[in-house]
Amino acid sequence: MRILGIDICKGSVVACLLTERPNEPRQFLFKTEFFNCKADVTGLKTLLDLKPDIAVMEPTGVNYSKLWGTHLVRAGCRVMLVSHNKLARHREHLDMPDKSDESDAFALACYWWDYHDQPRRFLQDRDQVSAKIREKVLRLGHLARVQSPIINRIRQDLAWQFPEVAMSQGVVMWEWLALEKESKRYDRIYSETVGLGIETSTHRHAKRLIDIWAEEREIEAELEELMADSRFIKYRQVFDKWGFGRRVQAILLSQIFPIESFLDDDGKPIIQWGKSRRKKDKRIKRHISLRRFTKALGCAPTERSSGDKESKKIVGGSDVCRVALWQWLFTRIEPIKYRPKNDIGETIGRIVDDMKQGGRPIRLIRMTAIAKATKLLFKDLVDILE
């Protein structure tokens, strides 16, 4: 087997080819040949000429890894992904505490030799449809972020150019400001303004905003078409019950589909029994599948204990999913009138209401509510398999 470890940089990659697992990794590292390949025709040819059977890399963003991963797959190479934290631990396990592009590439290649028979140590492969859904979701997130600075700039300029509408809402005003549509109402107000007059730069900013909204509509149409896949019908029925909007549904689908990937070979949640750390004679259940699901959503705290000190911190998983779930909590659960009229709205809503009445810190309330929500969501998604 020809295993290629690839550390991805912005405009290049560092690759390490191993045909066997080194017995002394630290010593072998200094004898290994590394290939620096730029993102051009020559660099890509150098990488493909290595003829790897399997390429191992980190999920370094959609844009940086997509180029190399796509070309490798087209060349018949299987691409496998390793999470950042697992790679860091494995690099230390190989006695290579110093981080560099070369040590990362080498550690990635060694990682496959050490764990190729344990598929759960690698990030799950997304099928083509769910990968495209994730790409569209991330693009929408980017467009949402770039709008605020443009809107703020326009409003600040209108404060002295056309103050009467500086804080106005509504699409008509923006289209009129972008010279896309006529409006007798805004023409009349502008004719009587005390402002100093709208400058060309403001019209251009408004035009940029209109273009962004048009691009958003196009992406949302593409997203709706992708989500019409028959495999997603039952998932979307569950999501509708929870009151998730279309964007949140797309974000969750891109991260947790198929739900079977979290279960055992019989399609059942994995549960293991182990000894309690605090009470030696007590055995406790460990819900492995639920833990993996929660971690994939970016909502699983990782325990860090030392002596009498204990702390928990959320490490790994999808930041996009975590933000989406928190926004759902803010908009659909905390405001009583918007809660889903079912057991989900009642259960999660009761947690929020009771803890607020008890004077609990708002951050603790939300973390508790999200923890309960992920458990119930996992159960609902597992039930669709029956």
Q: What pLDDT does 118 receive?
A: 86
Q: List, in sequence order, the alpha helices (H) in the chain.
A: 25-29, 41-48, 62-74, 84-93, 101-115, 128-161, 171-177, 184-191, 200-227, 233-242, 246-256, 288-296, 319-328, 343-357, 362-383
Measured between alpha carbons, how far is 48 from 44 in angstroms, rounded to an integer? 6
| Amino acid 100: pLDDT | 87
Beta bridge partners of 64: none
How far is residue 141's CA from residue 157's CA, in Å, rounded to a whole number?
A: 26
In this predicted model, what pLDDT tens digit does every residue of 227-243 receive, in sequence order? 999 999 999 999 999 99
Query: Model pTM greater than 0.85?
Result: no
pLDDT number for residue 317:
60
The domains of the chain, with CATH numbers, are: 3-121 (3.30.420.40), 129-227 (1.10.287.4070), 239-300+316-383 (no CATH)
Q: What is the pLDDT of residues 257-310, one digit of tens each?
A: 888 888 887 888 888 887 766 666 777 888 888 998 998 888 876 544 444 444
Distance (Å, rounded) from C-alpha 266 to C-alpha 268?
6
The DSSP-derived string for 340-355 is -SSHHHHHHHHHHHHH
Give residue 316's pLDDT.
52
Range 2-40 burial, b when 16+ CB lie within 10 A, else e: ebbbbbbeeebbbbbbbeeebeebeeebeebebbebeee
The whole-number mean pLDDT for each consecutive block of 10 residues of the chain, a chain of 386 residues, reads 91 92 85 92 94 89 78 91 86 82 92 88 75 87 92 96 92 95 95 95 96 95 93 94 92 88 85 74 83 86 48 59 91 93 94 93 92 94 88
Please state, in angstroms and as integers, the Cα–Cα distance from residue 201 to each residue in 153, 177, 205, following that order.
Answer: 10, 11, 6
User: Judging by DSSP bridges, how do beta strands 3-8 and 54-57 pair with one another?
Assistant: parallel
| Run of H or E including 302 | strand 301-306
Contact 74, 18 (CB under 8 A): no
